[in-house]
């Protein structure tokens, strides 16, 4: 049991920092650049993202392991996982609107963005490919969400400062954001090899 927890912890650290989806795998850049303009939206997006990621990782684990492997149709996983994520997002949108309208007004707008995100698809796919157990899948989803949150919050705090900086005219806006992302990514490569899984 103790071994399990070290493994889970390693997974979380690996997914959030060492193999950070944004900075080392360069996935989910669309949302990353879209919502990192302000800290408030970045935090809202991070919370929604992490929770949806964990739920979708666990649901797709069940579907993959108890339906798709026995039926020998694992080649369908991309289509099925997209369907699962879309259905989950739609369902949570409907349920949240009724159960927690305040939360819906705060975070609801991010839900629609999430359903088309590639990280949210990558996590179940990697879980399936690596044959993670249920707990490991959830840990991997959680770690990825934390990693994305970390990336968003770092970027949002830099970009809020960047608003006031004297940036050369050709670099204003998106170009400087890309340059900054590249620099952070460079820094994140320093974590590589910390844990090997």
Partner 1 sequence: MLDLFNINDLAPLFDVLSHLIPQTGVGGGVEARESVDFAAVVKFTLIFLAGVGTVFGVGLAIAAKRFAVKIDPRVEQVKEHLAHAHCGACGYAGCEQYAEAVVKNPEVPPNLCIPAGARGAEAVALITGKKADFKERDLSRVFCQGGLSNSSKRSIYEGVKDCRAAVLAGGGDKSCAYGCLGYGTCVKVCPFDAIHMGDNGLPVVDEVKCTGCRKCESACPKKVIEVLPASKAVIVACHSRDKGVDTRKHCQVGCIACGICVKTCPYEAVSIEKNLSRIDINRCRVCGLCTTKCPTKAIVDKLPARPKAFVTERCIGCQSCKKICPVDAPFGEPKKRHEVDQNRCIGCGICTARCPVQAIDGTFNAQAVFAAAAAKKAKAAA
Considering the complex, state which of residue 129 and residue 175 has its C-beta at the smaller distance from partner 1. 129
**Which window, 23-31, 112-120, 163-171, 181-189, contacts partner 1 (CB under 8 A)?**
163-171
**Burial tier of 14 (Cβ tally within 10 Å: 0-12, 13-18, 19+):** buried
- Rule CB under 8 A: say whether 168 interacts with partner 1: no
What is the b/e burial string over 74-107, where b = at least 16 CB atoms within 10 angstroms of the residue's CB?
Answer: eeebeebbeebbeebbeebeeebeeeeeeebeeb
- Cα-Cα-Cα-Cα dihedral sign, residues 37, 41, 44, 45: negative
Considering the complex, state which of residue 32 and residue 142 has its C-beta at the smaller distance from partner 1. 142
Q: Taking CB under 8 A as the rule, which mask of x and - marks residues 52-91 in contact with partner 1?
A: -----------xxxxxxxxxxxxxxx-xx--xx--x--xx
**CA–CA separation, 108 and 106 (whole Å):** 6
Contact 170, 53 (CB under 8 A): no
Taking the complex as a whole, how short is the minimal distance between the CB of residue 36 and partner 1, in angstroms?
Answer: 18
**Which window, 20-28, 36-44, 143-151, 162-170, contacts partner 1 (CB under 8 A)?**
162-170
Contact 110, 49 (CB under 8 A): yes
Considering the complex, state which of residue 22 and residue 138 has its C-beta at the smaller distance from partner 1. 138
Considering the complex, state which of residue 26 and residue 131 has its C-beta at the smaller distance from partner 1. 131
Q: Which residues bind partner 1 (CB under 8 A)?
A: 1, 63-77, 79-80, 83-84, 87, 90-91, 94-95, 97-99, 101, 105, 125, 128-129, 131, 133-135, 164-166
């Amino acid at each position: 049991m103790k071994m399990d927890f070290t493994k889970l912890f390693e997974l979380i650290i690996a997914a959030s920092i060492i193999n950070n989806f944004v900075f080392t795998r360069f996935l989910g850049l669309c949302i990353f650049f879209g919502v990192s303009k302000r800290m408030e939206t970045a935090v809202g997006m991070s919370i929604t993202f992490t929770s949806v990621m964990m739920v979708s990782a666990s649901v797709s684990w069940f579907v993959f392991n108890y339906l798709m492997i026995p039926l020998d149709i694992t080649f369908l996983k991309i289509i099925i996982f997209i369907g699962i994520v879309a259905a989950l997002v739609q369902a949570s949108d409907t349920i949240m609107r009724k159960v927690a309208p305040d939360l819906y007004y705060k975070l609801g707008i991010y839900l629609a963005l999430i359903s088309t995100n590639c990280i949210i698809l990558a996590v179940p796919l990697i879980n399936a490919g690596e044959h993670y157990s249920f707990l490991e899948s959830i840990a991997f989803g959680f770690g990825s969400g934390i990693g994305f949150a970390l990336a968003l919050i770092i970027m949002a705090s830099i970009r809020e400062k960047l608003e006031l900086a004297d940036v050369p005219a050709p670099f204003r806006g998106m170009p400087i954001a890309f340059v900054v992302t590249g620099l952070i990514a460079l820094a994140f490569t320093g974590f590589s090899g910390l844990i090997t899984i």
